[in-house]
């Protein structure tokens, strides 16, 4: 994984301020949860880091490269969103291969790497199915396989569990964490669920009104109110 640094990131949408000078440093391989209520700016932080959204001010570094002017497809980032993000007209395997096809990886390598990626999320035998034939949890596993197939240096997860029922949510959370640790991929995980953030992350960044107000390990946040 890469190191990630946001320094004094400000974001306005028209004249509405969404981020008010966000600072965040992540070590290579670290899993950080970004926790806070709806509207506090979590998704905007993720979109700024991915390049889906430009920033008004500030610096964003991945390893030692300033990526503020680097386009989305050159930032070497994998992303998983809330739900319904698979292409419905493609099979599971075609979905997972997609990022490799965009990079013009040859068909045989695509197939091999997509199969490895599906195997990693426990869906090796599901390659021929379509999204509508999968449960919500399975769809999110496929989305994770698709995000990781290009072996990105950073993984961004935007409430990937919020559409799932409680039992699946806990299972998939633990599985995401296991895969993340195996791969050593630097991961930022957006959630509004405090229990989830504390259970899964190395550190939790607590956001409020466009700022990170507090950041620490789950133990720190429990013992230092
Ligand atoms: P969260 O992910 O914590 O729910 P967001 O990052 O989605 O928060 O939103 C932060 C603030 O920016 C909110 O006030 C939201 O309404 C606003 N916002 C987000 N996206 C846009 C947009 N595309 N245009 C205008 N305002 C936006
Ligand atoms: P989240 O679940 O992260 O809070 P929202 O439902 O707030 O997301 O937003 C969904 C989409 O709408 C996002 O792409 C966000 O950028 C956009 N959005 C959010 N708030 C606004 C807004 N006030 N004006 C325009 N677009 C917005």
DSSP 17-65: EEEEEEEEEE-TT-EEEEE--TTSSHHHHHHHHHTSS--SEEEEEETTE
Sign of CA dihedral 194, 200, 206, 208: negative
pLDDT one digit per residue (tens) for the chain, 225 residues: 999 999 999 999 999 999 999 999 999 999 999 999 999 999 999 999 999 999 999 999 999 899 999 998 889 999 999 987 899 999 999 999 999 999 999 999 999 999 999 999 999 999 999 999 999 999 999 999 999 999 999 999 999 999 999 999 999 999 999 999 999 999 999 999 999 999 999 999 999 999 999 999 999 988 765
Is the CB of residue 201 less than 8 Å from the CB of residue 31?
A: yes
Which residue's CA is the closest to the ligand 2 atom numbered 20? Answer: 39
Sign of CA dihedral 137, 158, 80, 154: negative
Is the CB of residue 177 less than 8 Å from the CB of residue 6?
A: no
Which residue's CA is the closest to the ligand 1 atom numbered 16? Answer: 39
Helix axis angle for 107-120 and 136-148, nearest 10°, is: 130
Which residue's CA is the closest to the ligand 2 atom numbered 27? Answer: 13
Which residue's CA is the closest to the ligand 2 atom numbered 3? Answer: 43
For 110, the token pair is 């695509």
Ligand with smallest separation from the Cα of 46: 1
pTM: 0.90
**Ligand 2 nearest-atom number relative to CA 162:** 2
Distance 25 CA to ligand 2 centre (A): 25
**Ligand 2 nearest-atom number relative to CA 42:** 3
Report residues whose beta carbon is within 6 angstroms of any ligand 1 atom.
13, 16, 18, 36, 38-44
Beta strands in 83-195 (DSSP E): 154-158, 186-191
């Amino acid at each position: 994984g890469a190191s990630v640094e946001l320094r004094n990131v400000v974001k306005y949408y028209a004249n509405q301020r969404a981020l008010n000078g966000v600072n965040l440093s992540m070590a290579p391989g670290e899993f950080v949860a970004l926790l806070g209520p709806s509207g506090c700016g979590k998704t905007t932080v993720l979109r700024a880091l991915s390049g889906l959204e430009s920033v008004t001010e500030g610096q964003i570094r991945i390893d030692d490269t300033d990526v503020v002017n680097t386009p989305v497809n050159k930032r070497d980032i994998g992303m998983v969103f809330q739900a319904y993000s698979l292409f419905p007209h493609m099979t599971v395997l075609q979905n997972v291969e997609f990022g490799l096809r965009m990079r013009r990886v040859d068909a045989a390598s695509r197939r091999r790497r997509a199969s490895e990626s599906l195997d990693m999320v426990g869906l090796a035998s599901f390659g021929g199915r379509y999204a509508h034939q999968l449960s919500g949890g399975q769809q999110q596993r496929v989305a994770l396989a698709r995000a990781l197939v290009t072996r990105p240096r950073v993984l961004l997860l935007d409430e990937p569990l919020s559409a799932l029922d409680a039992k699946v949510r806990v299972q998939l959370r633990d599985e995401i964490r296991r895969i993340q640790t195996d791969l050593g991929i630097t991961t930022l995980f957006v959630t509004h669920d405090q229990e989830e953030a504390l259970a899964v992350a190395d550190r939790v960044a607590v956001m409020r009104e466009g700022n990170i107000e507090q950041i620490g390990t789950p133990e720190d946040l429990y013992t230092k109110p």
